[in-house]
Amino acid sequence: MKFLVTGGAGFIGSAVCRHLIENTEHHVVNADALTYAANPASLEAIAGNARYRFEHADIRDRPRMLEIMHTHAVDIVMHLAAESHVDRSIDGPGTFVSTNVVGTFELLEAARAYYADLPDERRAAFRFHHVSTDEVFGALDLGGGLFSEETPYSPSSPYSASKAASDHFAIAWHRTYGLPVVLSNCSNNYGPCHFPEKLIPLTILNALHGEPLPVYGRGENVRDWLYVEDHARALEVIATKGEPGRSYNVGGREERSNLDVVHAICDTLDRLKPPESGEARRTLVRFVEDRPGHDLRYAIDASRIEAELGWQPQETFESGLERTVRWYLDNEAWWRPIREGRYSGERLGRTTTG
């Protein structure tokens, strides 16, 4: 199969491209606009592979996306390109509407035109896989409950509202135009090549440098964490075996409060690279003013993908976190340029879960 992966130079997209090239026989075309969140270094391991191609392209450019689909004769469009950072969406929601809502609309229209021209024998396998987040469902109580595929949408942030809108467009293109759309909503990912504005990489790098570890509120917000390579495997299964018109929740059954996550990172780092000061890194935690509209808890019921598609996560939170911390210790060349100014975001000093 030939996959068109949008946003393949980002955190999850690059894990998907590496997975498809290194662990399967599929071909990959990666179309990415290379925003601040992209990092071509995340693709170095596969850049020279004959089954991999890169196209510098913006999903909002419908003719260009259609041309890419035709040129590479793609079978599956896996759509990850997005603005993905909740804090940025609060500061400037317009880009999120433009990329996540309008961009998804333009890509759906390109896919609809492409699908209409496909010969019958290639139509059966074609899928438009829209990759989304559990944040579209809103917040759960600390007491219990899980997001299922039937949970009503109730987004809280401009980011999650833009993703919710794009999910509705994708499913509408299936119901109205018959485009074979599959949708997935996943919990928080972590792992290698994660841009250091997000909670886990930010905490690892600040802790490594003996800098304060900002935590929103009292660190009580709970997220369900999934190792990014487990998500990449889930996405391949959904794109190739999922039923058109159906959505699949993906999660790790690994709920942790933000404070527990930060403490776990500190303890892992203390063990792998003892602090020169001799002082446990947990002492670096600083509570900061909470994010507006901060959802209290997200938790995923992943029983549909487990039962229907046979997917299971392979990493626990502890094993995945250890792999992640080791990756950041071993890959300074990847994150050093970002920390030293190529990325100038004022938000680096804050922490986030989105």
The residues that touch ligand NAD, with contacts defined as CB under 6 A, are 6-7, 9-13, 32-35, 37-38, 58-60, 80-82, 84, 99, 103, 131-133, 163, 186, 188-189, 195
Contacts of 94 (CB under 8 A, 6+ apart): none
One-character DSSP codes across 28-89? EEEEE---TT--GGGGTTTTT-TTEEEEE--TT-HHHHHHHHHHHT-SEEEE------HHHH
| CB closer to ligand NAD out of 188 and 351 | 188
| CB closer to ligand NAD out of 129 and 263 | 129
In whole angstroms, how close is the CB of 276 to ligand NAD at the nearest point? 32
Q: Is 134 a catalytic residue?
A: yes
Catalytic-labelled residue, pool 32, 58, 106, 134: 134
* Helix or strand run (H / E) with residue 20: helix 11-23
| CB closer to ligand NAD out of 188 and 247 | 188
Give the residue closest to ligand NAD by C-beta.
Answer: 10
* Helix or strand run (H / E) with residue 160: helix 158-177
Q: How many CB atoms lie within 10 A of CB 158?
A: 22
In whole angstroms, how close is the CB of 156 to ligand NAD at the nearest point? 15
In whole angstroms, how close is the CB of 81 to ligand NAD at the nearest point? 3
| CB closer to ligand NAD out of 8 and 281 | 8
How far is residue 183's CA from residue 169's CA, in Å, rounded to a whole number?
Answer: 11
How far is residue 126's CA from residue 150's CA, in Å, rounded to a whole number?
Answer: 25
| CB closer to ligand NAD out of 134 and 281 | 134
Catalytic-labelled residue, pool 32, 83, 135, 197: 135
In whole angstroms, how close is the CB of 162 to ligand NAD at the nearest point? 9
In whole angstroms, how close is the CB of 117 to ligand NAD at the nearest point? 23
Where are any strands of DSSP class E within the chain?
2-6, 27-32, 52-56, 76-79, 127-133, 181-186, 188-190, 213-216, 222-227, 247-250, 255-257, 285-288
Q: Is 149 a catalytic residue?
A: no
CB 100 within 8 A of CB 165: yes
Give the three-state DSSP class for 132: strand
Q: Is 135 a catalytic residue?
A: yes
Catalytic-labelled residue, pool 52, 114, 115, 159: 159
What residues are labeled active site?
134-135, 159
